[in-house]
Amino acid sequence: MKGIHHLGLAVSDLAGSSSFFCDLLGWNKVRKIDDYPAIFVSNGRIMFTLWQTGDGSTPFDRNRSIGLHHAALKMDSKEELMKSYKNIEKSDLVHVKFSPEPLRGGPAQHMICIEPSGIRVEFIWAPE
């Protein structure tokens, strides 16, 4: 195996989740399937499929649910981490759990936010 081709995320707010990746993080819509419905988003290295859930979907509880606990995105630089944080903190649709801080004493830095459908997304920068 060479890696992950894409990661499929079940989302309750397809437009909001797509906007999180595309408008706030600068990713691109690769493909949209209206009858499923789904939107594929990518930054050129990572691809997520955002699948719209149906009525009555249950929010993920990271302490009780089986499934994706969070997605961790590797940042190219500390500056890119801070730039993403500043874009995200301006949004009324995204909840920042904590701003960039040292990861296990540093020098690596990370932050976590909750995107519009309730999925935890971590951003990590670590020196090579």
What is the chain's pLDDT, residue by residue, as a tens digit (128 residues)? 998 999 999 999 999 999 999 999 999 999 999 999 999 999 999 999 999 998 888 888 888 888 889 999 999 999 999 999 999 999 999 999 999 999 999 999 999 999 999 999 999 999 98
CB 18 within 8 A of CB 39: yes
Q: What is the maximal distance between C-alpha atoms in the chain?
A: 47
16, burial (CB in 10 Å: exposed 0-12, middle 13-18, buried 19+): middle
pLDDT at 31: 97
Domains of the chain: 7-54+69-125 (3.10.180.10)
116, burial (CB in 10 Å: exposed 0-12, middle 13-18, buried 19+): buried
